[in-house]
Amino acid sequence: MSFPAIHRVVTGHAADGRAVIVSNGPLSTVRDLVSVNGMIVHEVWQTESSPPVVGNGEDPTRGPLRHPAPKHGTLIRFLDFPPDEAYLSDGGAAARMKHLFEEFSNPEGLTTRDDSPHPMMHRTEAIDYGVVIEGEMTLIVDAGEVQLRPGSVVIQRGTNHAWANRSGKPCRMLYIQIDGQYDPAIAALLQA
């Protein structure tokens, strides 16, 4: 099963200040990840400051994949997940996950240990909004898990987590990620 292409509309300003459509069509950055066959990243947009610069700059999604969002920035992307058995059942999960996070330019984000509940456990110092668009997903945290279906929204607040697709079918999720900073009390807990 493949999902429909993402259609993106980007607005901007003409020289006289009138609103114009700058782009109306497919995304410029869609990547099949090498490390996980069937995982596809659809980069929609990102910002690199807070407050973000509102201007007519170039498409910020060109270039290397990022995870987490840029410092003081945001990103929005769709992710198509294959079923877990498509990439976890043949062994080599630890090496595959390491490579996955290298593809996202964030090898230090992977937190998996031998006793982790899933080989994709990771953490980012960010607020993530994860929305199931199609399919089913399981959110796994250190002390539990929740089954998610279309319309489920996860507010991911910098916790250690993984996304498991145990449904046997692909799942499409939308992610909006906002760079953040841990509360000092939580930062101290995570350092211990």
Q: Give the span between the Cα atoms of 183 and 156, in whole angstroms.
A: 15
pLDDT in tens, 25-56: 999 999 998 888 899 999 999 999 999 999 99
> Rg (Cα) of the chain, in Å, rounded?
18
85: tokens are 């058995």
Q: Which residues contact 24 (CB under 8 A, 6 or more apart)?
A: 8, 9, 10
**CATH number given to 28-191:** 2.60.120.10
pTM: 0.91
**What is the pLDDT at residue 1?**
64
pLDDT on residue 166: 96
Instruction: Point out which residues pair with 81 in neighbouring strands.
Output: 171
Distance CA 179, CA 145 (A): 24
Q: Report the b/e string of 126-161 with b at 16+ CB within 10 A.
A: bbbebbbeebbbbbbeeeeeeebeeebebebebebb
Instruction: Give me the residues of the chain with pLDDT under 70, please.
Output: 1, 90
Q: Would you state the pLDDT for residue 106?
A: 76
